[in-house]
Structure 1
Amino acid sequence: MQGDQQLATATESGRLSLFARLAEYEKRSLEHDVGEAARQQQISNWDGVVFRLGDHYLTCRIDQVEEIIAFPPFTPVPGSKDWLLGIANVRGNLAPVSDLGWFLFNSRTPVTNRTRLIITRMQGRLAGLVVDEVFGQRHFHTDDLKDEDDWNDTPLSGLVSQQFETSERKWGVLRLEELQRNQEFVNGAREE
């Protein structure tokens, strides 16, 4: 009988100890500011879409991309510059299709099974940018973002001035807002 009483006392003591431990966990959990940790992570992370344009590996902020689709059928627009391929129907919305490689490098982007159209917004409207290949989404750390003057010696000068360096390559940051400020790009009408 005394053994049963000792066992009951030990079990009750174990429950109190477990309860005290759980109460301590709850207290510590409530003291931890999850919001601050999330803010710090957001500050240190830069999310982008990574892609290839010719021989250049680039990224742009993910919040600038509406969607990425396979190279779509398009209707040519008479009187437009060669790099403005035409207009495509993207989920019921018309979007101009611009060959970004042709515009920048004077060389048409070869259409392969990897060719993609990055759908973005320019001046509040959908616009499609043809690129050679999209690799997907990538998270970069803002500490790895570096200013780089080497881009000034390429046709991407003015559009790329920073890059992320990873173990496999350098990813130039394409500033789409600068592309839409480029009057030559915005005005796709052929000059006669």
Structure 2
Amino acid sequence: MQIIVFTLKEKYYAIPTEDVEEIVKEMPFTHVPKAPYWVEGLINIRGNAITLINLYKLLSNTSETEELCYNSIIILKNDDKKVAFAVDSVESVSEIDSQDIQMTDYVSAKEVAGIIRLNNKMISLISMEALFSINEG
């Protein structure tokens, strides 16, 4: 299984590459009035408007007003839907064995599918199903 490792507020996260359409550098976005607090706005990728989500706010369930400081945007696809997640930085693309994923009972966030230990770092593997279901709500 191949994963993309990225950071949010100095913590490491990963998503499977099969869910990723592309990674782009930060870009301007248009604010959307009355959108949920975790929606930063809309970005334009080759003529397509895609929702830009502040992944830190979404995962931490915080409505902090801290300015979004990101360097990369990960565009994910799920069937015919696309969504963009703003992240601090993309660290690497790594190959892991599915046995390397620790499924734990103490992971309280439904967005976390498991924990991976890679290069002496603890990395939270994000559940794409949970992220897309939150985004739809």
Question: Taking structure 2 as the reference length, what is the TM-score of the superposition?
Answer: 0.86
1:91 aligns to what?
46
Moved over 3 A (4+): 107-110
Structure 1 pair 109–177 and aligned structure 2 pair: CA distance change class (3 A): farther
For 1:111, give the aligned amino acid.
Answer: C
Structure 1 pair 172–73 and aligned structure 2 pair: CA distance change class (3 A): same
Structure 1: gaps spanning 5 or more residues: 1-45, 188-192
Structure 1 pair 57–78 and aligned structure 2 pair: CA distance change class (3 A): same
CA RMSD of aligned residues (A): 1.9
In structure 1, distance between residues paired with 2:136 and 2:45: 20
Report the 3-state secondary structure (helix = DSSP H, G, I; strand = E; otherwise coil) of the residue aligned with 1:80.
coil
Per-residue CA distance 1:107-157 (angstroms, 9 max, x = gap): 346415xx21110124622211111111131111223221123431xxxx0
Between structure 1 and structure 2, the one with the greater Rg is 1
For 1:76, give the aligned amino acid.
Answer: H
Structure 1 pair 109–50 and aligned structure 2 pair: CA distance change class (3 A): farther
**Structure holding more strand per residue:** 2
Q: How many residues align?
A: 134
Q: Is the 1:109–1:132 contact (alpha carbons within 8 Å) kept by the matching residues of 2?
A: no
RCO comparison, higher one (Cα < 8 Å, 6+)? 2
**Structure holding more helix per residue:** 1
2:136 aligns to what?
186
Question: Taking structure 1 as the reference length, what is the TM-score of the superposition?
Answer: 0.63
1:165 aligns to what?
117
Structure 2: gaps spanning 5 or more residues: none
Report the 3-state secondary structure (helix = DSSP H, G, I; strand = E; otherwise coil) of the residue aligned with 2:133.
coil
Report the 3-state secondary structure (helix = DSSP H, G, I; strand = E; otherwise coil) of the residue aligned with 2:56.
helix
